[in-house]
Amino acid sequence: MTTTTDVPTRALKVWQGINQALVEEMERDERVVLVGEDVGRPGGPYGVTRGLRDKFGDLRVRDTPISEQVLVGLGVGGAAVGLRPVIEIMFFDFAMIAMDQIVNQAAKFRYFSGHDLPLVIRTMAGAGGPNGAQHSQNFEAWYSAVPGLKVVMPSQAADTKGLLKSAIRDDDPVLFIETLGLYTTRHDVPQVDEYLVPIGVADIKREGSDLTVVATGRLVDRSLEAAAQLAEEGISVEVVDPRTLQPLDTEAITASIRKTGRLVVAQEATAQYSFASEICALAVEECLSELKAPPVRVASPFVNVPTPVPLAESRAPGVDDVVAAIRKAMA
């Protein structure tokens, strides 16, 4: 693995980091193929796969009919016979249509056969446009509960690129969740061919001593902004980004909670039966004697995502919500 120390970097948008990772891995390994709806000539709905068909040809970059069952079925079959498919499901909501292929076929392939299944399923989650309640949901907790399936959810361009490269090289199926609302955000990305971020390792985005915030997706940047605001008042907030939801880096998370004694979990998904609930359970089971206050969850209200952009954005937790949760935990 290459670290970010003493290597050249370039500010990239998250979608550019994804594109760069796909280009590098397809150049490195001819078994890597990309399949999805409009991934070819159109370059995907947000340009993420722009230029890949021109570079690698229509045998390796394939547009498909609108059928998620076919998409994931092609991926499972292709991986089973020696390819390393990257399957794009345009919106996370549509992964439900391929639930059997993902949960009962891909995730259980090694258990039943004893053989590898190097498959990556890319999809995007959350609000980020006038997409409405059927194109904006966060179901990461559902899939994180499936044995045999790895679930990755990065928040910044460098992590996105490094984790996608690692996912493509992984010999087991990986659900790679990209956050729609982060596609155009910029971060410094190391410009080296072998920049890899290991699956299953959390990252401390900001160190602190008074309280731990475990955040995912868009809430990572918002938690960092909240931490910067509260630092001016003398409150030291540590921000932990799991990056991988399954397998979860429980050691890094519990070590941070033990250090600070307080926990806030921030996510775009609703709180009920969620990843945030799992982190709170982890804190209580492993760190109860070190907790100085009950854990606090920051999440979207338990309502469907509205179609108008202002309403959709107001539903998602903001910086002020994270600040309020931290104050509550500190009190």
Task: List pLDDT tens digits, range 253-312.
Answer: 999 999 999 999 999 999 999 999 999 999 999 999 999 999 999 999 999 999 999 999
pLDDT band at 191 (very low <50, low <70, confident <90, very high): confident
Q: Which of 37, 68, 178, 268 is catalytic?
A: 68
CB atoms within 10 A of CB 7: 11
Residue 171 near residue 118, CB atoms below 8 Å: yes
Percent of the chain beyond pLDDT 90?
A: 90
Alpha-carbon dihedral 165, 177, 279, 173, rounded to 10 degrees: -60
Q: What kind of architecture, by CATH, is found in domain 10-190?
A: 3-Layer(aba) Sandwich (3.40)
**Topology of 203-330 in CATH?**
Rossmann fold (3.40.50)
Q: Which long-range contacts does 285-292 make (Cβ < 8 Å, 24+ apart)?
A: 286/250, 286/254, 286/257, 287/254, 287/257, 287/258, 290/257, 290/258, 290/261, 291/257, 291/261, 291/262, 291/263, 292/261, 292/262
Q: Is 187 tagged catalytic? A: no
pLDDT value at residue 41: 83
Question: Is residue 251 predicted with pLDDT exceeding 60?
Answer: yes
Reported as a single tens digit per residue, the pLDDT across 296-324 is 999 999 999 999 999 999 999 999 999 99
Q: Is 178 tagged catalytic? A: no
Distances in Å between the Cα of 71 and the Cα atoms of 10, 104, 121, 301 are: 33, 15, 9, 32
Reported as a single tens digit per residue, the pLDDT across 25-42 is 999 999 999 999 999 988
Where are the chain's structural domains?
10-190, 203-330
pLDDT band at 3 (very low <50, low <70, confident <90, very high): very low
pLDDT value at residue 46: 85
Instruction: Give yes or no on whether 10-190 and 203-330 have one common fold.
Output: yes
Cα–Cα distance for residue pair 230/331, rounded to 1 Å: 14
pLDDT band at 1 (very low <50, low <70, confident <90, very high): very low
pLDDT value at residue 5: 58
Question: Is residue 201 predicted with pLDDT exceeding 60?
Answer: yes
Q: Which of 24, 37, 88, 135 is catalytic?
A: 135
